[in-house]
Amino acid sequence: MTTTSHGVRDVPVTDAVLEVDGLTVEFPTEDGTVRAVRGVGYRLDRGESLGIVGESGSGKSVTALAVMGLLPGTARVGGSVRFEGTELLGLSDARLSDLRGSGIAMIFQDPMTSLNPVHTVGHQITETLQRHHPGLNRRTARARAVELLGTVGIPGPERRVDAYPHELSGGMRQRVVIAIAMANDPDVIIADEPTTALDVTVQAQILEALQTARAETGAALVLITHDLGVVAGHTDRVAVMYAGRIVETGSVEDIFYTPRMPYTLGLLGSLPRLDRDEERLTPITGSPPSLLNLPPGCPFAPRCPLRRDTCDDTEPALRPVGPEPHFSACHFAAELADTGAEDVFDTVGADAEALARYADATTPDEPPKDTV
Amino acid sequence: MTEIDAPGAADSRRPAREHEFTVEQRSQTRLVLRRFARHRAAMASLVVFVLIVLWAFVGPHLWHYSYAKFTPDNSQAPSRKHPFGTDSSGYDAYAQVMRGTQTSLKVAILIALGSTAVGAVWGAVAGFYRGLVDAVMMRVADLVLTLPLFAIALVISSRSGGSWYWIAAVIAGLTWAYVARVVRSTVLSLREKEFVEAARALGASDTRIILRHLLPNALGPIIVNATVLVATGILTETALSFVGFGVQPPDTSLGLLVSQAQTAVDTRPWLFYIPGAFIIAIALTINFIGDGLRDAFDPRQQRVRQ
Amino acid sequence: MLAYTVRRILVSIPVLVVSTFVVFLVVVNSGDPVANFATSRQPAPSKAAVAAFARHIHADQPVMERYWHWITGVLHGDFGPSVQSNLDIGHDLFTRFRVTVTLVASAMVIALLLAVVFGVFSAIRQYSAADYAITFVGFLFLAMPVFWFAVLLKQAGIWFNEQTGSQFLGTIGEKSPYLEVDTTWNEFTDRLGHLVLPTITLALVSFASWTRYTRASMLEVLGSDYVRLARAKGLRRRTVLVRHALRTALIPLATVTALDIAIILGGAVITETIFQWHGMGEMLVQSAQAVDVYRTMAWLLLSAVVVIGFNLLADLLYAVLDPRIRYD
């Protein structure tokens, strides 16, 4: 385990809460098989936080749902997902549901649709409490629900506990979802684009509530987002996904200071810089490939400014680059040392450095974490 | 290279010309047809339905018995001479079922066309002008919708004397309001779209906007509704004829044939089952066609098979 | 909600007035009862008798006046004169209404129960053989003419009685003309036996369309984010199905059910005709044949009240079931 998994630090097995190895997900459709996830692996230590970044359709949400065992019945899942050493793939739904919510909790993208409109938010919290603590009586559960609502920053939780979802704003609803996620002290929280559907002004508050939830429960966090800015401030490590694979992974500093994959460089180049306003953004031209009948070779090649002939023939494996636990899936990763987006893509303007500094400054307050 | 790399951004720089709109339309139609062709039940139904229509309209010219002529054979079971048998007075059931199918289809199709034409224009005008016009027109439509279709049709068509177009007109007069509601809601969403704005900016008249821009773009729901109306139409007409308020002898319809045969289920079952089977076949195929069209027009539909 | 209900009832009064007026015009013009009277009787009635008949049924008055007399009469419980002498339309209507209510209510309950069971099953087993079978049967029933199916069922009932040597399944009328042993229990089973086949007939079409509706509604809810979150919370499949999916999926079904009442009333007319019930179906057919204006109007008025009542019920039900809807 210590050497096979991709982009994982060499630490003793005992500390891993979640290990994903060689995960594949395929969806049969009328037009053929969509290979949504093609061999994803990562490892999450107790209390650690991992950011998974990628465009929509890169397979990051599907990976999360596969871990939860919540993919539709038509999906074909392969590989391995271990939670505290227990293999989850192939486990019965009954066994899995004992784990969901108590071992691994999940937060979804759209708070407007995540809560059942016909039940009060209090009911939706107590429901998960009582599910995992069968002896819990109604009054205690309700008191705990009020407490949880207070913890995630909902004002007047005694009143709000009886509110229906439609009576709350989007930001408030996402706080409720976070309260549900932390209700049973999970060991892992998977947050799938928790801020994407929200107003920019609310996003920071929600991320703060998420950090509170982590601090309270000591849970490890998988933060899925397409926003590198979110990752920079809230996770220890980053995995960049493209076309169903992890194409680069490393510490936040590695990814922002010394990216070794042109796609990552492109992502950094697309970030607006705050300090130099005359600079332009560096876009990645084109769009991600269809995961149906993916051609051989590097899936990023058609959009890659560094593309050479090899790129069309063989898909690069995820290989270590540099001394740190930093991995990249590019044939020419070595050549990319000390390269900025402006060197690779057409326009100057990426502010990778500024972001890296930001990452340094705001590296999350380490929750109980003894393995760094 | 400072362009935004959104797909299709390149096209937006090209000046929009009239013909692009039609090209767009044609490919849209092709897409719908392709999706429809993939719906196997709908394709099979279309074939069966077309065969029934051809048989009912062409068949009587080729068949050597008329629906209104006695034959010397009465109460005969199906044979080569009388494929569907004969009834107790010697009518050839094959000729009668053919005629009945023709009448019932004529009624059903006229209902669908009539109420679709009226309802589509009604709904489009209401949705386009909104405000008071809309309020008044839709109240009228709502009023029509509160009338119980079968009961009112029964009361009115008692005066029809059995002519098929009168029956069709009565039923269409009670069903157009469904179409009007559907079209109105579609038009309400369409009228804010850019191409309507563009047409208006170019000085197109209201009539032109409604007929050339709004209705064609609401075609999906309109066609789907029309198929539903064919099924509703045939079931309503045959039921009316069965109760004695629809098509009258000597003309015949599938409902009338079933009605005349209801006491002969045991003795001359062919007279009862065959016209019934034709009603089911027509309504069933039309419903499958409608289902296929709905899937074809609705791009959100993505079928996943195991 | 009470204020809302009262307001809705008040609003529906003008709707009822306008709609009955339109219907009245239609019905008055749907035939000429006086001519019927003059030509269809043997021996031919005298001119004076015809004039008296016309006066009796108010055919000599202008339409507006007739409508006014009718609607004010209805408010006093007088439904106007029938072309049949000695027929009290009000009494006739309510006797028949009781007969028909039993049929309509039992058909609706059965159709609804079966529709929920099959629709939900179909949805949770989407694309399975059972789902395809249920879908196909649904399509078949939707295409099945009620009258054809009713005749078949009637035959099946007769066959069943012959085979079992019983008289349990009544195929004619809503009850037997007389009972050998006239006890409450016997009367109950007699009526029940007569109810079975017509109920199945009438339930058929609604069952088919409601099953398809339940399936679609259930599928939509099963694919929703909140069901996924409920599963992510660790709730068991069954709990999610009942408490989250079904509870929400049934809300629109309640409305659809209530709004289909007009279609069911139409189906009841056909069903009652075939099973020869002395219910509202027979009343409508008879009065349409005889161009009995006031008897037809009584029927249509009652059905309009029922339809409007069910519309209101649908809205109220929605408010009860869905906390997002509030009327004040």
Residue C59 belongs to what domain range?
Answer: 2-75
Position A158 scores a pLDDT of 92
Q: Is residue A370 assigned to a domain?
A: no
Please check whether residues A203 and A234 belong to one and the same domain: yes
pLDDT in tens, C98-132: 999 999 999 999 999 999 999 999 998 888 899 99
pLDDT in tens, A289-348: 788 878 788 888 888 887 888 888 888 888 888 777 888 888 887 777 766 666 666 554
Please check whether residues A38 and A186 belong to one and the same domain: yes
Q: Is residue C300 assigned to a domain?
A: yes
Interface test with B, best of A26, A29, A290 (most B CBs within 10 A): A29
Q: Is residue C82 assigned to a domain?
A: no
Q: Which residues of A touch B1 (CB under 8 A)?
A: 283, 285, 346-347
> At a CB cut-off of 8 Å and minimum separation 6, what does B233 contact?
B107, B108, B109, B110, B111, B112, B168, B171, B172, B175
Contact A100 C228 (CB under 8 A): no
Q: Is residue B213 assigned to a domain?
A: yes
Q: Domain with B203 in it: what CATH number?
A: 1.10.3720.10
Of A179, A172, A168, A92, which is closest to residue A127 (Cα–Cα)?
A: A179
The series of mean pLDDT values per 10 residues for chain B, 306 residues long, is 35 38 60 82 91 88 76 73 73 84 92 93 88 87 84 79 82 90 86 80 84 83 88 90 84 87 79 89 92 76 38
Q: Is residue C183 assigned to a domain?
A: no
Contact A113 C230 (CB under 8 A): no
Contact B265 C155 (CB under 8 A): yes
Query: Rounded to whole angstroms, how far apart are CA atoms B170 and B164?
Result: 10
Q: Is residue A44 assigned to a domain?
A: yes
Residue type, B35: R
Interface test with C, best of A68, A91, A96, A97 (most C CBs within 10 A): A97
Q: Domain with A76 in it: what CATH number?
A: 3.40.50.300
Please check whether residues C10 and C141 belong to one and the same domain: no
Please check whether residues C38 and C104 belong to one and the same domain: no
Are A125 and A149 in contact by the 8 Å Cβ rule? The answer is: yes
Please check whether residues C219 and C304 belong to one and the same domain: yes
Position B306 scores a pLDDT of 28
Q: Is residue A7 assigned to a domain?
A: no
Position A361 scores a pLDDT of 54
Please check whether residues A215 and A309 belong to one and the same domain: no
Please check whether residues A27 and A163 belong to one and the same domain: yes
Please check whether residues C112 and C254 belong to one and the same domain: yes
Q: Is residue A290 assigned to a domain?
A: no
Of B229, B243, B259, which is closest to residue B168 (Cα–Cα)?
A: B229
Q: Is residue B10 assigned to a domain?
A: no
pLDDT in tens, C277-295: 899 989 999 888 888 888 9
Distance from CA of A285 to the nearest CA of B (A): 5
Confidence of residue C199 (pLDDT cuts 50, 70, 90): very high
> How many Cβ contacts (< 8 angstroms) between chains B and C?
127
Query: Rounded to whole angstroms, how far apart are CA atoms A235 and A363?
Result: 7
Please check whether residues C150 and C25 belong to one and the same domain: no
Total domains in the fold of chain C: 2
Chains that touch C (3 or more CB pairs under 8 A): A, B
Q: Is residue B168 assigned to a domain?
A: yes
Distance from CA of B3 to the nearest CA of A (A): 9
Position B12 scores a pLDDT of 37
Residue A136 belongs to what domain range?
Answer: 13-242
Q: Where are the alpha helices (DSSP H) in C260-292?
A: 261-274, 280-289
Nearest residue, CB atoms, A30 vs list B2, B4, B303: B303
Position A348 scores a pLDDT of 42
Nearest residue, CB atoms, C266 vs list B149, B238, B262: B149
Please check whether residues A197 and A315 belong to one and the same domain: no
Please check whether residues C148 and C260 belong to one and the same domain: yes
Interface test with A, best of C126, C226, C318 (most A CBs within 10 A): C226
Q: Is residue C201 assigned to a domain?
A: yes
Please check whether residues A203 and A317 belong to one and the same domain: no
Position A8 scores a pLDDT of 44
Q: Which residues of B touch A73 (CB under 8 A)?
A: 306
Whether C219 and chain A come into contact, CB under 8 Å, resolves to no
Nearest residue, CB atoms, C146 vs list B156, B239, B306: B239
Q: Which residues of A touch C239 (CB under 8 A)?
A: 131
Q: Determine if the pTM surpasses 0.90.
A: no
Please check whether residues C62 and C204 belong to one and the same domain: no
Please check whether residues A24 and A81 belong to one and the same domain: yes
| Distances A335 to A27, A260, A339, C291 between C-alpha atoms, Å | 36, 8, 8, 96
pLDDT in tens, C53-111: 888 888 778 888 889 988 888 888 888 888 787 888 889 999 999 999 999 999 999 99
Position A275 scores a pLDDT of 53
Are C16 and C308 in contact by the 8 Å Cβ rule? The answer is: yes
Contact A286 B5 (CB under 8 A): yes
- Residue B192 CB: number of other CB atoms within 10 A? 8
Please check whether residues A203 and A85 belong to one and the same domain: yes
Q: Is residue B19 assigned to a domain?
A: no
Q: Which residues of B touch A29 (CB under 8 A)?
A: 302-305
The domain boundary, picked from C75, C108, C136, lies at C75
Alpha-carbon dihedral angle through residues A47, A255, A253, A41, given to the nearest 10 degrees: 20
Distance from CA of C181 to the nearest CA of B (A): 31
Residue B133 belongs to what domain range?
Answer: 26-72+81-297
Q: Is residue C327 assigned to a domain?
A: no
pLDDT in tens, A32-81: 888 889 989 999 998 899 999 988 888 888 999 999 998 888 889 999 99
Query: Rounded to whole angstroms, how far apart are CA atoms C96 and C282?
Result: 9
Which tokens sit at A50?
């991992």
Interface test with B, best of A33, A285, A303, A348 (most B CBs within 10 A): A285
Please check whether residues C112 and C16 belong to one and the same domain: no
Distance from CA of C319 to the nearest CA of A (A): 11
Please check whether residues C71 and C140 belong to one and the same domain: no
Which C residues 169-208 touch B at CB under 8 Å?
none
Q: Which residues of C touch A93 (CB under 8 A)?
A: 237
Q: Is residue B181 assigned to a domain?
A: yes
Whether C117 and chain B come into contact, CB under 8 Å, resolves to no
pLDDT in tens, A163-200: 999 999 988 999 999 999 999 999 999 999 888 888 88
Position A356 scores a pLDDT of 58
Please check whether residues C161 and C235 belong to one and the same domain: yes
Contact C22 B143 (CB under 8 A): yes
Distance from CA of C250 to the nearest CA of B (A): 22
Distance from CA of A109 to the nearest CA of B (A): 20
Indicate if the pLDDT at residue C15 is higher than 70.
yes
The 3-state DSSP class for residue A82 equals: strand
Q: Which residue has the higher pLDDT, C86 or A369?
A: C86
Interface test with A, best of C224, C233, C239 (most A CBs within 10 A): C233
Total domains in the fold of chain A: 2
Please check whether residues C240 and C303 belong to one and the same domain: yes
pLDDT averaged over every residue in chain C: 86
Q: Which residues of B touch A282 (CB under 8 A)?
A: none
Nearest residue, CB atoms, B155 vs list C273, C274, C288: C288
ipTM for the whole predicted complex goes beyond 0.95: no
Nearest residue, CB atoms, A180 vs list C225, C231, C233: C233
Indicate if the pLDDT at residue A369 is higher than 60.
no
Q: Is residue C12 assigned to a domain?
A: yes
Please check whether residues A188 and A143 belong to one and the same domain: yes
**DSSP code per residue over B29-84:** HHHHHHHHHH-HHHHHHHHHHHHHHHHHHHHHHH-SS-TTSB-S--SPPS-SSSTT
Cross-sheet strand order for the sheet of A104-107: A104-107, A188-192, A220-225, A49-53, A237-242, A245-251, A327-328, A319-320
> At a CB cut-off of 8 Å and minimum separation 6, what does A182 contact?
A105, A148, A151, A152, A189, A213, A216, A217, A219
Beta bridge partners of C24: none
Residue range A222-250: mean pLDDT, rounded: 88
Total domains in the fold of chain B: 1
Are A287 and A58 in contact by the 8 Å Cβ rule? The answer is: no
Are B183 and B119 in contact by the 8 Å Cβ rule? The answer is: yes
Q: Is residue B16 assigned to a domain?
A: no
pLDDT in tens, C227-263: 999 999 999 988 999 999 998 888 888 888 887 888 8
Beta bridge partners of A28: A33
Q: Which residue of C has its CA nearest to A163?
A: C323
Q: Which residue has the higher pLDDT, A270 or A19?
A: A19
Q: Which residues of A touch C322 (CB under 8 A)?
A: 117-118
